[in-house]
Amino acid sequence: MNSLANPPTKVSEDGSNIREPMTCRHWLIIVAGVLIAFGPCALVYNVWSIFVVPVSSSLGVASSQFTFFITLVYLVGGIAAPFAGNLLQKHDLRIVLSVSVVMVALGLFLCSFWDRIYLFYVSGVLVGFGIVSLMFLAIPTLINRWFSERAGLFMGICFAMSGVGGAVWSMVGGLIIDALSWRVAYQVFSALVLVIGLFATLVCVRSYPDEVGLRPFGVRLSSRDASSGHDGKRPRVCGVSALVMFRSPVFYLLILSMGIFNSLTVTVNLYATYIHHLGALGLAGITPEGAVMMASVTASCLMAVSAGSKVLLGAISDKSMIGALVIAFVGGGVRICCMFGSSSPELIMLGGALGGILYAAIDALAPSITRQIVGPRDYTIIYSRVAIVVNLAGAAAATVFAAVAEASWEAEWAMSLLLVAVAFVSCVAAVRLGRNLEQTIE
C-alpha cells in the first residue's frame, strides 16, 4: 500500500536521480485546463457578442447597455481576484473551482429569464466572481504546481482552447438563437458550463501532486526535498514570498506591462470597425461591400494565429522568456505598422492576422513571466494581484481606445505603438530585476 502511495524514485545507471516522469494524473491536469478554457472561459469571454443584437432588440435597449454586462464581468473579476487567489492558495482547488463553475452557470442561466436590462447586471456580478478563478488563476495555478518543466507549453495549449471553444460555441449558439431563441441559448450554455466545468474540477483536478503520491513533472530529487511528505497541508516550496514581491519595484513593472498587454487586445477587437471605416472612405482599395467579408476573414485569421501563438509563445518561454517577449512585441509592432500605412487590403489583413500574436501574449506570457520571477511558493497570491490590473485595464481600455479611435485612427495606432514599446521595456526590466529577488522555502 505504501509503495502505491509513494512510488520508488527512478535512478539512472550512475546512481543519480532522474526527473519525475509524466503520469496519467499529470495528463489529467492538462485535460482539466483544456476543458476549463474550452468550456466556461470560452462561453463567457468569447461568445457574448452573439447575444448583443438579439437581446438588445428583444428588450428594446441600446447595444451599449447590454455590452456593459461584459464590462461588469471584467470589473467584478478585478475586484474579486485577490480574494479568489487567497481561496485557491489556502483551500482545496476542487471545492473553490467547483463553486466558481456553479456561479458562472447560475449567472448565465438567470440571463434566460431576465426581462429588464439592469437584471443582466446581477448576472454580470455572479459571472464575474466565478470566472476570475477559472480564466485567470486556475490554469496557471494547476500547471505551476504540477509541472516543473514545459509549464509554458502546457499553459499555452490550455489557453489556446478558449479560442477554439469560442469558434465552436459561437456557431452552436448562432444555430440555437436562429432556430429557437436567445433564452434557450443561455440555458444550453449554462448547462455546458456546468457539465464541462464540474467534470474538469471534480474528476481531473487535484490541488497538489503529493495528494496522489506524485511530484511535479520534471522535478529532480534535490527539488523534491522541498515539497515531499504531503500530510494534508501545503507542501514546502521555494520562491519569492508575496511580502517581498509586493515591496519590490519588480511587482510594479510587472503589473504595468501586463496591464498594457491586456489593454492592447482592445485594439485587436477594433479591427472590424477600422476596416469598415476604410471601406466607407474608399481607402486602401476597400469598398463598403467588401469590408464585411474582409472583416470576417480577418477575424478568423486572427483567432487562428492567436491559438497557434499561445502554444508557440508558451513553448518558447520555457527556453527563453526574452525570446518569447521579442516575438510578441515584434509581431505587435509590425501589425500596428501595417494598419498605420493603410496602403492595401493585403497589408491590413496581414496586420489583422499578426494581431493574434499580441492577443495571445496576455494568456501565454503573463502567467509564465510571473512564474519565472516568483517561483511556486506564493505564485497564486501574487498572480491574483496581477490579475486585478489585467482586468481593470481591459475594462478601462475598452472606453479609452474606442474614444481615441473615434477622434483619429492615426492617433490610435501611434498610441498603440508607444504602449508596445513601454510594455516591452518594462517586461524585460521585470524579468532581469526579478532574478535578484530573495527566494526562500516555506
pTM, two decimals, is 0.77
Residue 10, pLDDT score: 47
The CA distance from 164 to 4, in Å, is 38
Which of 45-49, 149-153, 431-435 has the largest mean confidence? Answer: 431-435
Confidence class for position 231, pLDDT limits 50, 70, 90: very low
> Are 33 and 151 in contact, with CB atoms under 8 Å apart?
no
Residue 9, pLDDT score: 43
Complete DSSP assignment for 206-222: -S-GGGGT---BT--HH
Inform me whether the pLDDT recorded for 104 exceeds 70.
yes
Which of 226-230, 286-290, 425-429 has the largest mean confidence? Answer: 425-429
Going by C-alpha positions, the residue among 67, 104, 70, 69 that lies closest to residue 84 is 104
In 3-state terms, what secondary structure has residue 17? strand
Query: What's the mean pLDDT when you consider all of the chain?
Result: 81
Q: State how far the alpha carbon of 399 is from the alpha carbons of 23, 47, 115, 244, 282, in Å.
A: 46, 20, 26, 34, 27
Q: How far is CA 282 from the centre of its chain?
A: 36
Q: How many CB atoms lie within 10 A of CB 379?
A: 26
Inform me whether the pLDDT recorded for 13 exceeds 80.
no
Confidence class for position 11, pLDDT limits 50, 70, 90: very low
- 117 or 34: whose pLDDT is higher? 34
Going by C-alpha positions, the residue among 347, 321, 327, 325 that lies closest to residue 413 is 347
The CA distance from 387 to 408, in Å, is 30
Q: How far is CA 204 from the centre of its chain?
A: 20
> Are 139 and 38 in contact, with CB atoms under 8 Å apart?
no
Minimum mean pLDDT among 10-14, 21-25, 309-313: which range? 10-14
Pairing status of strand 238-239 against strand 440-441? antiparallel
Q: What would the pLDDT profile of 408-429 be if each residue is shown by its tens digit?
A: 888 888 888 898 889 889 988 9
- 5 or 403: whose pLDDT is higher? 403
Place of cell 500547471: 143
Which of 43-52, 261-270, 422-431, 433-442 has the largest mean confidence? Answer: 422-431
The CA distance from 46 to 265, in Å, is 13
What average pLDDT does this structure show over 93-120? 92
Burial (CB < 10 A; 0-12, 13-18, 19+), residue 141, is: buried
Inform me whether the pLDDT recorded for 3 exceeds 70.
no
Minimum mean pLDDT among 104-118, 142-156, 340-354, 369-383: which range? 340-354
- 149 or 125: whose pLDDT is higher? 125
Going by C-alpha positions, the residue among 234, 219, 156 that lies closest to residue 23 is 219
What average pLDDT does this structure show over 343-358? 80
Inform me whether the pLDDT recorded for 12 exceeds 70.
no
In 3-state terms, what secondary structure has residue 196? helix
- Compute the residue count for the chain: 442
> Are 382 and 370 in contact, with CB atoms under 8 Å apart?
yes
Complete DSSP assignment for 177-193: HHHS-HHHHHHHHHHHH
The CA distance from 57 to 428, in Å, is 47
Inform me whether the pLDDT recorded for 16 exceeds 50.
no
Contacts of 357 (CB under 8 A, 6+ apart): 305, 306, 309, 313, 327, 328, 331, 332, 335
- 204 or 346: whose pLDDT is higher? 204
Q: Which residues face 177 on adjacent strands?
A: none
Residue 187, pLDDT score: 93
Confidence class for position 228, pLDDT limits 50, 70, 90: very low
Residue 5, pLDDT score: 38
Return the amino acid letter for 381: I
Share of the chain above pLDDT 70, in %: 90
Complete DSSP assignment for 96-108: HHHHHHHHHHHHH
The CA distance from 377 to 381, in Å, is 9
Residue 341, pLDDT score: 67
> Are 159 and 137 in contact, with CB atoms under 8 Å apart?
no
What average pLDDT does this structure show over 333-360? 80
Residue 172, pLDDT score: 86
What average pLDDT does this structure show over 173-183? 86
Inform me whether the pLDDT recorded for 98 exceeds 90.
yes
Q: Which residues face 440 on adjacent strands?
A: 239
Residue 100, pLDDT score: 94
Q: What would the pLDDT profile of 181-225 be if each residue is shown by its tens digit?
A: 889 999 999 999 999 999 999 999 988 888 888 888 877 755 444
